Structure formats: C-alpha cells, structure tokens
Structure 1
Amino acid sequence: MSPDTDTNNDINGNANPSPNAQQLATSLVTRCRTLISEIDAFHALLTDTQRNPQVVEARSIRSNTISELRTLEKLAAQIDAEPVEDDDIPETHKRLTHALRSSNLPFYEAVWTIAKRSCTGLVGFGKRFYRDGDSGGGWDEGHKKRPNKDKRKSVFVDIVADGGEEWVKVSTVSETRLLFEMAEKGWEADSEAGSDEEEPRTVLRNYDGDRRPDGASDNTGSDGDEDDDEVELVKLAREMRRASDNTRVRYRHPRLRFVIPKIEEGKIPEIDDLLKAIRGYGVQVDCGEAVFSSEAIDLDQELRRLLPKPFKRFASTLNVDCTLLLAIVSDLSHFKNIPPSPTLHRAILRQLEVERSHPLLTKELWPAMVDHDLVCTKEAAERMREIVETIGTDSEKQRTWMIMGIDEFRGLDSPSLLQRLQALSDHPIPSQWKLPIKTVDSISAIALGRKEGVIPLVADRVTEILSDINHSVFMYGWASKLMTISSNRTVVKQIEMTVEKHREGDEELEGPLIWVCDTARSLIGKEKSRKN
C-alpha cells in the first residue's frame, strides 16, 4: 500500500477538534482493530464461499494495518507512561500527538471503505503493474520477488476489482496540500484563445511549449521518467494509462478510476483544471465525501458484494468442454470415500486429496452450471464417450448416459435424470441442474459464424493451434457467442496469446468467451501406467 503523506484522523477529510493524546491514541487503536476485524471477516467469507480463497489477495492491507496497530499501541503505551498534571501538557505528549496525527491508518481505512462501498469482484489490494513489454499482461503479487522488473516503469494500484477489469487509485491528499504542490511544481492556469468563434479556454499546464503533455520532449523521445515538475496525481494518471494500455483482462484494457475524497470539485478553478487533465488520460475521477457517504448497508452485504463474480458474463446457455464432461461423470467428483489405493495413478491420488478439501462439483461446477441450459459439440460428446467406454467404471458409464440422456435414459426429463443420478452420488444433486446436456452441430454453426462475420479473421490463426476437438468446442462457442466452460487452461492461454499477437491494432477485437475451472477430475479408471 502507498499512503499519502498528508493524513488526517477523519477519513472524510473533515477538520477534527484537538483531543488529548490519550484520547487520540485510544480512538486510533480502536479504529485499527475494527478495520482488522472487518478484513478478517471478509477472509472468513472467502474461505466459506470460494473453492480457492487465495483468489483474492487481501494480505497487503491486513499486514499494513497490523503493523500500524503495533506502532499505535507503542505510542499509546508511551503516552500512558507519562501522566498529565493539571493543564501542563508534557512536551513528550506533543511529540507523540504529532506522531499519532501522522498515522497511515486513515489511508488504509479509506482504501477499505472505498472497496466496500464502490467495488465488486475484488481481486486484491496493492498490486504493481508494468508499462513496458515485459509485464505479460498480468499483475505483480506483492509477496513475490520480480528481480528482472524495473519498478520505475510500473505503477502501484491500490484496488484491483471487477475481476481485474477495474484499477482504483486512492489519494487522501488535502486541498491545501494539493494547491501547495501545484504551486511548487509550477502549475498555472493559462488563457488560450481558439478560433474567432470560440471562447478563450483555460488550460492548466506544467510543461514548456515544446513538450508534450505526457512529459516527453518532441525531439528526444524521452518517456518523462525524470521529470521532477510533475504533479503526482497527473503523473499517476499517465502511468496508470500506460500500464493499462499494456495489460488486457479478457481481451479488454482495465478501466481506471481515481478516488480523491478530500477534494471537492467546483470550488477552485485550478484544481478543477487539474482534474480535467487527469480525466484526459481516460481516468474516471470521483471526488468529495460522497465516496464515503453512499448508502451504507449491512457489513455482511458489503463484504458479499466484494466477492469474486466469476459468472458475470454468463448467458442463459453454456457450452461445455470435453474436459468438464469427464469431470462431472467421474467417480472422484461424486464419491467421498474412495481409498487412496497404491494401484491408482499419481494424478488420481493428487485429485483425491484436493477433492477431500475442495469438492469440485459443489464448490465450482454446480455453481457455474445450475439454472443454465447446457450444450456440447458432437465431437466433444463422442470423444467423452470413447474415453468412458475405454477406461470408465460402471458408475461412470451410467452417469455418462444420464447426463447426456442417451441409451436407456433417452427421453427422460430433467427431474427424472437427476433422481437417478442422485443414486450414484454422495453429494445432494441440485434440482436446478438442467439435464440432459444437448449435443449440437459445430460444423454448421462455425460456417455460419464465419459467413456472418461473427468470427473475425484472427480465428484462422487460432485454428492453427487447435486440435479437432478443441476447434469444435472453442470455435463453436465463438461462433454462437456462448461462454465455453473448460478446465483446459493451457489451450485457453494459447488462444488468448494468439489473439493478442495478431490483433493488428484492432482495440475492439475479442476472442471466444471462456470460463476456466481451476482443476479437472479424471476418470478413476485411469490406469497407473498411463501418462498424465
């Protein structure tokens, strides 16, 4: 986390009365503990609801707040050790009061409150993104060393939300401090006349006439890294835009947002012009106390709103990949007490271990599938049946016939299939699971998608890297504008990389919609001698 140096005990930016040191210390320690308890409550909610709680990275804000608590408790202890006699305030208390007023806690509170009140689908706090060609489109986790990265070519983002599609920067800079910095850096409002028909306009600048607004000289090619006359907020806006332009999440550049709670728009023209300059980089700017005073709801509701939203782009119908067809019929997914026999393949043993703590169906697949119509391509269905017939157990074969509605289960409706399936599962089968999975013709759908331009030309490049089955699955989803659900992370990554490599300047180009399951489940009949 990167708190502003200008802090205040009121996260709304209001001027506080001057409590004595002991009162101030008690207040800050209490607030700090409250913040930690809320963060812990969110982690407990993640653990309870998510198959992988680590999908949200909240450690940085918690560790920073705990560190701040330790500092505040030490200051409070020093204050308690020196009592105040009458109205004679010891010099030590004055020094400690100043230290308390310089606490980073208001910044951490601001970040947490803004996340709770204005963000959904939290990814994490305190992430570093790079604006050069070496970022790989991903974000740098704070706990991992990146020795080959140049932090001078990066930007620190306070909140990453909406599944990575929104970056939020929080600044608790005060109006007074911002005006002081603007004056120090030489910012001023100029009147520039346009054409005869135009009114003169006010332009706020902090660069010479022969330099571009991004700080680079027109004849040097410098990227402006060494500019010392840059107001910090404008520099952050520029660097966030560069990093965002070098990053894509689901084929899109992340949206950028600044939240500046202590600044009121419409009061000071120079500050308004500064905000206009920030917005010029495509950054949404939210100012004022409204960012805190939005309608407060129950804490549990606020925390649930922060939970990951992996299904937000799902339509009414989902296209199921062969990998997940196998996962939903596997004995590993349905039976809870399969003994870890040494005759089982080591991959099966690993999956058994994972399944015991994080059941795939209940934690991941059923939440994704229920209430959706399910389809799969003819090629995926045939391949799945070939594998089941070759190495599947009797129960795995039975489930295959049930979920596909074939053989002796042909013509049965969803409730009847679910009832029969329940006899072969230790998990309560959700009544909203829509069976059977319908088999579709991918060839005609893909041909129509190409003819109507639904599938872009880059699909030819994607086709080159796909097997016949993967071609049928992912190209069908692309042509039909359906979300494909799969556990084939390797192929999905290859598709994304191919689309990016051959984007050719088309900023709106998107590949197929794909939701990737964290893990899959093999058929338990897989022989130990078979390769992974």
Structure 2
Amino acid sequence: MTSDSPQDHAGGLSRLTLSGTLKNGQHSPDLSSPDNSARDVALSSSNTDDSGSRPEQPSNASIASLDEIIRRCRVLLSELADFQRHIKAQYYARGENATDTFNAFSNCVKAEIRGLERLTGGHLPQGKVQHAATSSNLPFLEAVWDATKCAQNVVAMMKIFYWDKQGRNLARNQPKGPHTTVDIVADGGLEWIKVSTITNTRLLFEKAKLGWEQGALSDEDDLSDCDADESPAKNESDDAISIVKTARDLARAARAVRVSYKHPRIKYMLPRIRPGQTSVIDEVLDDIRALGVTVVCAEDVPPLPPLDAAFSAMTGKRFVGFSDLINIDCTILLAIVSDFSHTAVKEEDWFHTALKTQIKAEPKLQLMPSILYPAMGSHALICTRAAAKRMHEIVDTIGTESEKARTAIMMGTDATQTRQQLVRDFRLHSIHEIPADWQLPITVADEDTTVVATTRLPAVAQQVGRKLTPINQSVFLYGWATGCTTVTSNRTVVRQIESVIDGATPAGEDAQGPMVWLCPTARSLVGKEKNRCTCGSTPCLRNAEYRCYR
C-alpha cells in the first residue's frame, strides 16, 4: 500500500478517476491507477473507531505481532488502573464512585484484550490471526488515552450525551433518543474531546465514494424538477463524511448541555490527518471548524507528558476560580461544627440511617482535612445573617456541648480574641490538624441581602428566588449579587437554580448564575435522642424540625 505522503495526494480526487460502473449503478475507482490506497483500505480493514473511520491497513513491514499488540493493551490498561487508584487516593472527595466514570473506556480495553487472547494458542490459521491483529482497535484506544494524558481536569471518558431530552425514552432496553459519545470530558465538563484515527487516504476515499454515489444517482434519477437546495449533494454530503457527521452530533449535544451555566467547547483530535496536502481535506476540516469545533491535526498534537505529571493535570485542581471572599451556607456551617467532622463518634442505637452512614464514611473521607479546609484555604469567609441565625437555632436546640463550643469559636462570639487565638482554641475540639491560615471568625454580612439581591441581579433572579426558601434566597442570591463563590452541600437547591436559569436562557447561549461549589457530602449534628431531649417533649418537636430542615 502506498504511504500517506504529500506526493500520494498531490492530485487530490483527480487521482481517483471514475471509470467503470458497478451493478448497482455506482461508479468504481480506476483500479489500474497507481494510487490504490483508498481501495486497499476499504477492502482490507473491517474495524472502526467511534467516528466510523477504519484504521488503515499497514504494510507488511509495519505489522505488529499479536503478542506485541496484547502487550500494548496491557500497558494501556495498567496505566488506566494507576490513574483510577490515583483518583481514589488523592481525590476521594469527588465522590465514592469517582472512578466509575472511566469504566466504559476501561471495559473497552479489557474487551479488546479478551478478544485478542482468544486468538492465541495456535488453533487458528496464521493468516486469520494476523488479520485480526492488524484489525485491532488498539490504535484508536491508544490515541484516546494519549489525548487524555494531555487533558486537564478529566471527569469522564466514553460518556454519552443526548440532545433531545424531551424525546428520550427512559424505559430499560429501549432507545433513548439521538445521542453522541464524547471520548474525553475534560476541564470539569467544560471541554469535550473527540478522537478519530482516520487518515488522509481514508478521508479522500470517503469523499471519492460520495462522488460516485451522487454521480450514480444523478445518472439514473431525473432531478431537474428538484430544488437545488434539496438535492442529496447539498444536504446529505456532509453527513456522508464520518468526522463531519460526528462533529455535527457533538455540536447538537453541546447546545443541549450546560456546565456551570456554559455550553461545553468541543475539540476534535485528528492525530493522523495532515492538512495542507490537498484542498479536499482542508475543505472538510473547514466544515468542522464552521460548527464551532476546534480541530487538532497531526502537527498540533502536543507531546506526551511524564505519567506523574499527566495524572496530576488529569485530576486537576478542585478549587480553581474561587472568589477572594467565600460565602458559606448553613449546611456547611453545620458541617464545620459537627462532632462527626472532628471526633470519632460512637454509634448509638437511636441513630437513624443517615447518621450511621456518616460515621462509616468519615474515617475514609475525613471531610474537614480532605475537603472543607482545602476549599476554604486562606479565603476570607462570610455568611448571611439568615444563615447564621438558622445555624445558631439548630445548634442551640440539638447540639452537643462540643458542637456549641465550636460554633462560638467559629463565629467569634468573644470579640476580643484574635484570629490566631480562635484557631488555637478550635484545635482543642478536633482530632484533625487545623490550618494556621484558616480565616476565623466567619463574618456575618451586614448588608440587607434582600436589597443587595434585588438591586444587583438580572431579571431571571426573581424566577430563581420564587423557587427557594427564604434562607436559601438569602444565601444564594447574596452570593450571586456580590460575586462570591457560595460553598454548599445542598445539591437539591443547586439543581433547582440551574434548572430555572437554563430554562430561562435561549438555547445555544451561555447563561449567567451564581458561582457555587457543591461539597460532595454533608454532615449533620449528632443531636440528642428524642426521648431524652432537654426540651421535655416526647417526641421532640425540635428534633423533628431539624430533620425537616435537613
């Protein structure tokens, strides 16, 4: 087979002359032409990557042995397993199922290994074994993994996205509507990366094949009465090119998805495409760029970083973009003073399921040193008056003595104490080391949060406010109006806010909303057993009120 060189494509599609006619009316390429690369690819390779392109048949001199391909598969799988362990060890805070988002890609690699290993043992003819080896999907999997190692803050691989959510059928084993698969979801979800191992030769073949099909159609069918804009050549040509169709599907899905109120940007990695060699390929790339997709070809593919550096970049930084002043909501105020966050709480018979779950999770997760202290860092901290009032009510009602003591320190009840003294006193009530730069006390906002919110926010904020309780209006609208990052563990409220803002923003446009960082776990106060509560009521109405709040 001829190489993928500039000389091979100097004549563009003119080299693939249309001579002879197939039985189905389509035209065939001139098989006597010295350049039969496209024909060889089409006839010799049966495997495809996710964009629909087939890997090219290599020359005999470049064919890797089956054992070598299996070895490379195992290396890839080993690196992926190391990355998953890295996530568990360094960023357990992303959730207990943090590595599940990479299982789809891992399973693809495992399936490839199983398929190749079944060919070993000498029970198959060597020719079939060699054909299977050359048809392996490993080059595509390696290309995806190499692109992943060059990405930042990767959150998923091989993830499916839909662009017609209303038409989606959620019944089991039923089609779920139009969708596309994103090979790499990076930048915390804001960047989608698609990889294709299609080559110049294969892309030229697709264009040539399209020309034959359209030529056959125009020969047999009378299109003289058709509007030119409705002809197959006008409307179907782009979709006949695999990478253009994939790019269009990605663009459709991205317009239906928002992450932090923004639509993901799309990057198409084409490591085997070399532009500038023929106008046909350059036009295809321009068609993709016209969809708002960034195209990265062979000469722009970045070099692979060392594995340790790659893993560090792939996991990313959790607290990028936080404002200088952080707005703390009531759920986090309670988590900071909870005994569950600072001591080894003994499980009691009267603990409900949520409390028992927190006891089991804390030794492994360690909320304060693993999540909240790094999130707060050395930022100045503030909360609204409504949040502080509600927190005090709950602590005063059901808090233990140690929880009350932490609350007094955190909120600076003794105004004569310095920040250093408050940090020192807080250490006395925790088994964890307290960061020396923790900014205590947490300030209570003096401004009327209602006035701030109504005078500084866009009109959609009124729709958001109507969905929230008064305390959550105070917290989230204040953070939005002042440009503060709001730290919360209230996942339900965050989803409500995003839903309202997304619904009020025209499709395809980025939205604006409060900057919110969602803590992946919550903490309750230990509380008191209902029949022993100091309020004297059986059952304790104050405990019931607290559970209702949570």
- For Structure 1 versus Structure 2, the TM-score category normalised by the shorter chain is 0.7 to 0.9
1:418 to 423, 438, 461: 423
Distance in 2 separating the partners of 1:442 and 1:494:
25
1:319 to 319, 327, 333: 327
1:426-437 → structure 2 map (5 Å cutoff): 426-437=431-442
Partner of 2:138: 105
Q: Which has the larger radius of gyration?
A: 2
State the shift of 1:432 in Å.
Answer: 2.9
Distance in 1 separating the partners of 2:507 and 2:73:
48
CA RMSD of aligned residues (A): 2.8
> What TM-score do the two structures reach when normalised by structure 1?
0.82
Instruction: Decide whether aligned partners of structure 1 residues 416 and 214 sit closer, same or farther in structure 2, where only a CA change above 3 A counts.
Output: farther
**Partner SS state of residue 119, structure 2:** helix
Q: Is the 8 A contact 1:393 1:525 kept in 2?
A: yes
Partner of 1:301: 309
Task: Return 322-331 or 242-251, whichever deviates more.
Answer: 242-251
Distance in 2 separating the partners of 1:474 and 1:105:
48
2:517 to 504, 515, 518: 515
- Letter paired with 2:183: D
Partner of 1:182: 207
- Letter paired with 1:512: P
Partner of 2:83: 42
Task: Return 472-481 or 511-520, whichever deviates more.
Answer: 511-520
Report whether the alignment pairs 1:464 with 2:488.
Answer: no
Instruction: Decide whether aligned partners of structure 1 residues 424 and 50 sit closer, same or farther in structure 2, where only a CA change above 3 A counts.
Output: same
Q: Is the 8 A contact 1:160 1:167 kept in 2?
A: yes
2:229 to 210, 215, 220: 210
Which consecutive unaligned segments of at least 5 residues does structure 1 have? 10-14, 83-91, 189-206, 217-223
Report whether the alignment pairs 1:347 with 2:373.
Answer: no
Distance in 2 separating the partners of 1:181 and 1:335:
65
Q: Is the 8 A contact 1:262 1:289 kept in 2?
A: no
- Letter paired with 2:85: A
State the shift of 1:458 in Å.
Answer: 0.6
Partner of 1:333: 341
CA-to-partner distance for each residue in 1:39-81, whole Å, 9 max, x for gaps? Answer: 0110110110122252351111111111211222333433xx7
Q: Is the 8 A contact 1:162 1:309 kept in 2?
A: no
1:87-126 → structure 2 map (5 Å cutoff): 92-117=125-150, 119-126=151-158
2:182 to 138, 157, 161: 157
1:17-28 → structure 2 map (5 Å cutoff): 18=61, 24-28=65-69
- Letter paired with 2:83: F
State the shift of 1:390 in Å.
Answer: 1.2
Partner of 2:166: 134
Distance in 2 separating the partners of 1:214 and 1:383:
66
Partner of 1:251: 261
Report whether the alignment pairs 1:400 with 2:407.
Answer: yes
CA-to-partner distance for each residue in 1:265-285, whole Å, 9 max, x for gaps? Answer: 111111000000011111111
Instruction: Decide whether aligned partners of structure 1 residues 403 and 28 sit closer, same or farther in structure 2, where only a CA change above 3 A counts.
Output: same
- Letter paired with 1:332: F
Distance in 1 separating the partners of 2:259 and 2:500:
14
Structure with bigger helix share is 2
Q: Is the 8 A contact 2:146 2:304 kept in 1?
A: no
- Letter paired with 1:447: V
Report whether the alignment pairs 1:366 with 2:414.
Answer: no
Distance in 1 separating the partners of 2:239 and 2:367:
54
Instruction: Decide whether aligned partners of structure 1 residues 215 and 61 sit closer, same or farther in structure 2, where only a CA change above 3 A counts.
Output: farther
- Letter paired with 1:522: S
**Partner SS state of residue 150, structure 1:** coil
- Letter paired with 2:54: D
Report whether the alignment pairs 1:380 with 2:387.
Answer: yes
Q: Percent identity?
A: 39
- Letter paired with 1:209: A
State the shift of 1:345 in Å.
Answer: 3.4
Distance in 2 separating the partners of 1:438 and 1:24:
67
**Partner SS state of residue 510, structure 1:** coil
Instruction: Decide whether aligned partners of structure 1 residues 126 and 98 sit closer, same or farther in structure 2, where only a CA change above 3 A counts.
Output: same
Q: Is the 8 A contact 1:120 1:305 kept in 2?
A: yes
Q: Is the 8 A contact 2:412 2:441 kept in 1?
A: yes
1:168 to 168, 171, 193: 193
Distance in 2 separating the partners of 1:432 and 1:215:
64
Q: Is the 8 A contact 1:127 1:157 kept in 2?
A: yes
> What TM-score do the two structures reach when normalised by structure 2?
0.79
| Paired residues, number | 471
State the shift of 1:313 in Å.
Answer: 2.2
1:483 to 482, 485, 503: 485
Task: Return 506-515 or 264-273, whichever deviates more.
Answer: 506-515
- Letter paired with 2:354: A
1:473 to 467, 472, 475: 475
Instruction: Decide whether aligned partners of structure 1 residues 469 and 150 sit closer, same or farther in structure 2, where only a CA change above 3 A counts.
Output: closer
2:97 to 51, 54, 72: 54
Report whether the alignment pairs 1:2 with 2:50.
Answer: yes
State the shift of 1:433 in Å.
Answer: 2.0
Q: Is the 8 A contact 2:263 2:508 kept in 1?
A: no
State the shift of 1:343 in Å.
Answer: 2.5
Partner of 1:495: 497
Distance in 1 separating the partners of 2:382 and 2:167:
36
- Letter paired with 1:423: L
State the shift of 1:244 in Å.
Answer: 1.0
Instruction: Decide whether aligned partners of structure 1 residues 273 and 93 sit closer, same or farther in structure 2, where only a CA change above 3 A counts.
Output: same
State the shift of 1:493 in Å.
Answer: 1.0
CA-to-partner distance for each residue in 1:334-353, whole Å, 9 max, x for gaps? Answer: 002x2111123332222212
Instruction: Decide whether aligned partners of structure 1 residues 405 and 499 sit closer, same or farther in structure 2, where only a CA change above 3 A counts.
Output: same
- Letter paired with 1:341: E
Q: Is the 8 A contact 2:338 2:523 kept in 1?
A: yes
